Amino acid sequence: MTVDTYLSTLDERIRGMEGLIASTSIQREVDTNLGIGFIKGYFIFIDGARLDFSEQLPTERGKFRFHYMDAQNKIIARWDSSPHHKEFSTFPFHKHTSKGAEEHKRMTLLDGLDEIAKALHI
């Protein structure tokens, strides 16, 4: 998926979640000549939960961090591509929860928003 297509899809997804998002901040840095970019920011949801994120684009680069926490700032999940947990078959991709780290597939911000929408029962 191109960077422009991804960002357009992300904008659509955010509009579709308007009733669930209390506030958001997204910084976008895109080099259209090279077709690469970087996004970072946060979403605060109506239940007080927060998702902090950073992602390199295009998403096939596989560099990301999505940190989802509840209204008391306790971890719900953090998906990232930090190169630790070499024991996981999904290395470097994994997920952290309050129970510890576990294997997880590569994620995008779109995937993370889907997971949160499911958790909020929409």
Which tens digit of pLDDT belongs to each residue from 24-41? 999 999 998 898 999 999
| DSSP string for 46-109 | TTS-EEEEEEEESGGG--EEEEEE-TTS-EEEEEE--S--TTSTTTT-EEEETTEEEE-----H
State how far Cα 96 lies from the chain centre.
13
Contacts 24+ apart (CB under 8 A), 60-67: 61/36, 62/92, 62/93, 62/106, 64/106, 64/107, 64/108, 64/109, 66/107, 66/109, 66/112
In contact, 78 and 96? CB cutoff 8 Å: yes
If you compute the radius of gyration of the chain from its CA atoms, what whole number of angstroms results? 14
Q: Which residue ranges of the chain lie beneath pLDDT 50? A: none
Q: Which residues contact 58 (CB under 8 A, 6 or more apart)?
A: 1, 2, 3, 6, 35, 36
